[in-house]
Chain A
Amino acid sequence: MGSELAYLSVCEAAELLRSRRLSPRELVGACLERIESLNPRLNAFITVTAEPARAAAARAEAEIHRGAYRGPLHGIPFALKDLFATRGVRTTAGSKVLADWVPDHDSAAGERLAAAGAILVGKTNTHEFAFGATTLNPHYGPARNPWDPERVPGGSSGGSAVALAAGMCALALGSDTGGSIRLPAALTGTVGLKPTYGRVSRFGVVPLSWSQDHVGPMARTVRDAALGLNAIAGYDPRDPASVKRSVPDFTDELERGVAGLRLGLLREQLELPTDPEVEAAVRATVARLEALGAQVKEVSFPEHAQALAAGSAILLAEAASVHERWLRERAEEYGEDVRTRLEQGALLPALVYVRAQRARRLLIARFNRLFEQVDVVLSPAAPVPAPRLDQPMLTLDGETSDARGVLLRNTRLYDVLGLPALSVPCGVTRAGLPIGLQVAGRAFDEATVLRVGYAVEQSGGWSARRPTAGASPA
C-alpha cells in the first residue's frame, strides 16, 4: 500500500485528499517510509525533514477537515534541491563550504509551494553547488539512478529526480543552468521543466550563473509539472530578473492535442553523435505526434556551436565570480572537479565574457526567428542514456569526450537563450534505461511546451513505468 500511495500523481492524490479519502498524514507517511527504506541505497536526500513534515501533514489534515482546502498542492509531499534556502533547515548546496549553513529565510519558490499547502519532506542531493551533470557528490556521496543504481541519475538536480522516480515524493524543485532539471528528468524517466528566464523567482537559491540560472518543477507527469509551475510562477521583487507578467493556468491547454501544431526537429542537435536507441525513440515519438495531426519539419540553427561556446564562457566566468571569495579562502574544501572549473573561470579574460554576452543577444534574436516556422523545437533531451557511475568519458560514433559536455550538449542551448524547455519520457533502451524528449518553445509559452509534452506522455505511456532495480524496499 505504501508504494501505491507514494507513486500517486499529484492530481490523483489531490482528488483523494480533497474528498478526504486520503489524509495528508498517510500520504506523507508513505513517502517518509520510502525515504527511510530506499535513501541509504539511492542517496537522493541530504537532509530528511521527517518531523516537521509530519507536523505539517497534521496541520494540513485539520485544515482540510474544517473545509479550508487550499487547492491541488494541499497536503502534497515535495522535495527541494539542497540549493534552495530553507529557514531553520540546513542548506548545504551539496558542498562542504556550506555544510553547516542554516538559513534564516526560505527560497521564494519553496515559500510559494508551502503557501499552496505542499509539505516539504527533505532536501535533495545535488552536484556540488549545482556545478556538474552527474550528482557524483564527493561530500555526501553519489545519488544513484533507481533504474540501475550503478548508473548516475544526471545532474545537477539528480537527487530530486531520484526522489520522484523512486516514489519518495510527489513533486520536487530543481535549478537549471545548463540542463540540471531536464537532464536528470531524462535519465530517470521523470518530467522536468525549465521555465522561461524571469518566470520563476530565483530568490533564495544559491546562484551558479546569474544570467543562466532557472528554477523549475520536476514531477512524474506533465500535468503535475504544470501544477507545480502554477504555484511557483510569478513576479517577485526580490529577484531582479523576475518579470511582471500574468501567469496563466498551465493546465488549461494540456488536452488540446497537437493537431495543427508545427513541430521543428533541430537539425544541429540530431546531426551530432547520438546513441542509436535514443535517436530511434525520439524519431518514433515524433512520428506518433505526426500521426496525431502535428506538422513536422526539420529546422536549422547554424549558430548552435557558438551558442554552446557562449554559454560555457558565461557559466565559467559568472560561477568564478559567485565563488571568488570562498575560492581564495577555502579552495581545499571544494571537490576536485568543481574547484578546477571555478579556477578555470577565474582565469578567463573579461573580453571573452563580454563577447559571449554580446553574442548571446544576437543568438537569441536569431533563434527566435525559428518560431516563425514552428511552434516548438524538439530534440533528444540527452544524447545518451544514463552513464555508469565510473564513466567520466563517453564514446559516441568513435569519438570519446568528457561525459559532462556530452550530457548537457542539447540542454545548454535553452539556458543561453532563456527559453522554456521540457524533458518528457519518450522511450526506454533495451537495457531498460529511460529516454527523454526535449520540447522547447517561445519565451513565456510554457503552455504550448507542456501541451506537446502531455501529448507525448499520453501517446507513449512511458511515464507510467516504475523502476524496480533500485526502488524496491530491501
Chain B
Amino acid sequence: MSAEPIDAELARRLAALVGLSLDAGRASEQARLLAAELAQVRLLEQLDLEGVEPACSFELATERE
C-alpha cells in the first residue's frame, strides 16, 4: 500500500470520483480516517496470501462444513 500522504484535497477528489460531495471539514476528517484505516490494513501485508483467493459470502458458510 502506498505511503503517500493523504490530505483533505485528495479525500475530496476520491469522494467526488464515487459521487460524494465532501465539504472542507468532512474532507479533512476523511483524510485522517482513511490514513488510519490504511495503516491498520497494512497489518495484512504480514500474511502470506500467495495463492489465497478471497472469501465471499456465498461460500463462507459451506466451506466450513
Q: In whole Å, how far is B36's beta carbon from the nearest beta carbon of chain A? A: 9
A358 touches B52 (CB 8 A): yes
A211 touches B60 (CB 8 A): yes
> In the complex the two chains form, what is the Cα distance from A297 to B55 in whole Å?
31
B33 touches A340 (CB 8 A): yes
Contacts of A327 in B (CB 8 A): 20
12 contacts between A and B (CB under 8 A): A211-B57, A312-B41, A343-B30, A344-B30, A344-B34, A347-B11, A348-B37, A351-B1, A359-B47, A361-B54, A361-B55, A443-B64
Contacts of A340 in B (CB 8 A): 26, 29-30, 33
Please name the residue on chain A nearest to B61 by beta carbon.
A198
Please name the residue on chain B nearest to A344 by beta carbon.
B33
Please name the residue on chain A nearest to B42 by beta carbon.
A309
A331: interface (CB < 8 Å): yes
Among B37, B41, B43, B49, the most chain A Cβ lie within 10 Å of the Cβ of B41
A198 touches B62 (CB 8 A): yes
Contacts of B33 in A (CB 8 A): 340, 344
A346: interface (CB < 8 Å): yes
A173: interface (CB < 8 Å): no
Contacts of A11 in B (CB 8 A): none
Type the 1/0 row for A267-284, where 1 means its CB is closer than 8 Å to any CB of B.
000000000000000000
> In the complex the two chains form, what is the Cα distance from A363 to B1 in whole Å?
20
Known: A313-B37, A343-B26. A356 touches B61 (CB 8 A): no
B3: interface (CB < 8 Å): no
A245: interface (CB < 8 Å): yes
B49 touches A358 (CB 8 A): yes
One of A241, A303, A344, A351 near B61 (C-beta < 8 A): A241
A357 touches B54 (CB 8 A): yes
Q: In whole Å, how far is A368's beta carbon from the nearest beta carbon of chain B? A: 8
User: How many B residues have CB within 8 A of the partner chain?
Assistant: 36
Type the 1/0 row for B11-33, where 1 means its CB is closer than 8 Å to any CB of A.
10011001111100010011001
Q: Closest 3 A-B residue pairs measured CB to CB? A: A198-B61, A357-B54, A443-B64
A162: interface (CB < 8 Å): no
Known: A313-B37, A357-B56, A361-B52. A196 touches B22 (CB 8 A): no
> In the complex the two chains form, what is the Cα distance from A160 to B64 in whole Å?
29
Contacts of B19 in A (CB 8 A): 328
A312 touches B40 (CB 8 A): yes
B20 touches A328 (CB 8 A): yes
A179: interface (CB < 8 Å): no
> In the complex the two chains form, what is the Cα distance from A310 to B60 in whole Å?
15
Which A residues are within 8 Å of any B CB, using their own CB?
196-199, 210-211, 240-243, 245, 303, 305-306, 309-310, 312-313, 316, 324, 327-328, 331, 340, 343-344, 346-348, 351-352, 354-364, 368, 418, 443-444
Q: In whole Å, how far is A78's beta carbon from the nearest beta carbon of chain B? A: 25
B58 touches A347 (CB 8 A): no
Q: In whole Å, how far is B48's beta carbon from the nearest beta carbon of chain A? A: 8
A362 touches B62 (CB 8 A): no
Please name the residue on chain B nearest to A345 by beta carbon.
B37
Contacts of A242 in B (CB 8 A): 61
B60 touches A362 (CB 8 A): no
Contacts of B65 in A (CB 8 A): 243, 245, 443-444
Known: A211-B56, A351-B1, A358-B53. 14 other contacts (CB 8 A): A198-B60, A199-B61, A242-B61, A305-B43, A313-B41, A340-B33, A343-B20, A346-B18, A347-B34, A348-B34, A357-B56, A364-B55, A418-B61, A418-B64
Contacts of B60 in A (CB 8 A): 197-198, 211, 241, 418
One of B43, B63, B64 near A444 (C-beta < 8 A): B64
B20 touches A346 (CB 8 A): yes
One of B22, B41, B43, B57 near A343 (C-beta < 8 A): B22
Q: In whole Å, how far is B14's beta carbon from the nearest beta carbon of chain A? A: 5
> In the complex the two chains form, what is the Cα distance from A443 to B65 in whole Å?
7
> In the complex the two chains form, what is the Cα distance from A231 to B1 in whole Å?
46
Contacts of A343 in B (CB 8 A): 15, 20, 22, 26, 30
Please name the residue on chain B nearest to A198 by beta carbon.
B61
Please name the residue on chain A nearest to B54 by beta carbon.
A357
B62 touches A356 (CB 8 A): no
Contacts of A368 in B (CB 8 A): 64
Among A197, A199, A359, A444, the most chain B Cβ lie within 10 Å of the Cβ of A359
> In the complex the two chains form, what is the Cα distance from A361 to B49 in whole Å?
9
Contacts of B57 in A (CB 8 A): 210-211, 240-241
Q: In whole Å, how far is B39's beta carbon from the nearest beta carbon of chain A? A: 9
Contacts of A306 in B (CB 8 A): 43-44, 46-47
> In the complex the two chains form, what is the Cα distance from A400 to B62 in whole Å?
40
A361 touches B53 (CB 8 A): yes
> In the complex the two chains form, what is the Cα distance from A364 to B15 in whole Å?
33
